[in-house]
Chain A
C-alpha cells in the first residue's frame, strides 16, 4: 500500500457508488431486449420445444401455487449452501497450508492437479456408489468438486501475505484470534471473494447433476422429471427461478459484504 508523502488532504474523497442509477437503466434495457428476442423467436417457431416467455411464466406460477417450486428451490439452495460452506472451509485450510509450507506444496501439488482434472460426473457417481444414495454423499460430492478450485485460489492468497506485517504482529504479540481477524483475513479477502464468486456458480450447476442422478427432490430432480415429460416451459421456469435467486444473493449479500470489506480502499489520501 503506497503512502504518499504529500501533506494532509481535507475531507475524505468519496468516489461515486459503483452501481449508480446510470448503469441500472442500460442493464434493464439489455435484459428487456433479450426477452423480446426470445418472444419473437418463440412466436416464429410456434413449437412446444421453444415456449414463449409468457408460457414459462405460467408454468412457473402453476408450480409456485402448488408449493412445488419453492420447496424444490429450497432443497437445492440448502445443498448449495452446505456444499459451499464445506468447500470454502476445507479449500481455504488446505490452500493456506500449501501456500505457507513449500514442502507440503511440493508433495501435494500432483494430487491437486489430479483432483482438479477428475470429471464432476465421476466424483458424483463414485460418491453415490461408495457412500450410498443419501444427502451426505450428495453434498460431499458437490463440495469435492469445488474444493480444488478454492485450494488453488487460496494458495495464491497465502503466498501474497505480507511478511512485514506478519513480523509486526509477532513483535507486538498479537493473539491468534487477532492475527486471523485483523492480519490474515483482510489480506485474503480478495481471494476469498474470487473463490466464493466462482464457487457459487459452479456449485449450483453441479448440484443439479447430483440431484438428477440420486435425489428425489430439488431443481435438478424436477428438471429431469420435466425432461421426461418434454415440458420445456417448466424446465426453463425452474432454471430462471434459480438464476434469479442466485442474482439476489449476489446483489443483496455478496456485493454489500465486499463493499464493507474494501471500504478502506475507497478513500485515497
Chain B
C-alpha cells in the first residue's frame, strides 16, 4: 500500500500550482467568469505546450492537474476534453487534442427524461447521420467536437455541424449548452455493449476527476477561512481563537481529508482498472461534492459579511462546488448506487 504520488507527479503539481496562481489571481478569475464566454481562449495552446493534453499522461498524472484546477479554477474546457471526451476518441483525434488544436466534450442528457450519464437516450444515428437534442453539455460552447451518446452507441460530431445554444450559469467558468443535431454527419466511436462499458468508464473517470477538483476547491476555501481567522480581529482578538470559528475550520479540515483520501483511492482505481473502481468513484464523487460545498459554506460564514459579497472570491468556489456536486445527480444519487452494491 503506497498512497504517495510519484516525485514527477509532485513536480507536475508544483508547476501547475505556480502556473495557475500566476495566470489566474482572484481578480482575473472574476473578470473571466463575468465575461461573455467565461473562458480564457488564449490558455489552450499553453496547456498543449505544457503537455497537459497529452494522451500519454496517466490518470494519476491527470489527477494532480484536476486537483490543482479546483484549487485555482482553470477557465477552459480542460476537464471536459480530457476526462469526458478523450477516453471515447481514437488515437488520431487524441493527437489533435494533444497538439492543442481540438477541444471536445460529451453530450448525453436530453430534455424531459432521466439525465444520468447511463440513462437511456433518444438520439439516434443512421447512415452516418445523427439526430437528437442534448442539454447541459459542459463547455458546450467552447467545444470543437462533441462525443454524443445515441441510443445505439457513441458518435463523434463536429461542432460546425451542430446547433449550439450557450446558457449562462452561476459558475461562470464552466457553462453548459443545449446542442441540437439535425442529421449531422456522425462518426461511430463505439456501439452496443462496448459503448455502454465505455460510457461507464467515462463516468467513473468523470466522478474521480470532479472529486479531485472538489478537493482542490475545498482546500482553497479552507485556506481562505484559516487565513481570515488569523488576521481578522474582533473583541480584541483574532477570530480564530473563538471555538465557534476554529471548530468550523477543523470540521472542514476533517471532511476535506476524508474526501481527499477517497478521491485518491478513486483515481488509483481508475488508473489501475481496479475491480472496486465503480464503488470508489461513486463514493469519492458523493463525498467530495459535499465536502467542497461544506467547505465553501463554512468559509463564507467564517468571513462574515465580506464573504457574502460578489467582490470576494469565495462565491466563485462555492458555485464551482455546487456545479460538481450536482453533476450527474446529487450525492444521494451516487449513494443510491452504493446502496445497491451493499444491499441488493
Determine if chain A interacts with chain B: no
A contact set with B: CB distance below 8 Å: none
B contact set with A: CB distance below 8 Å: none
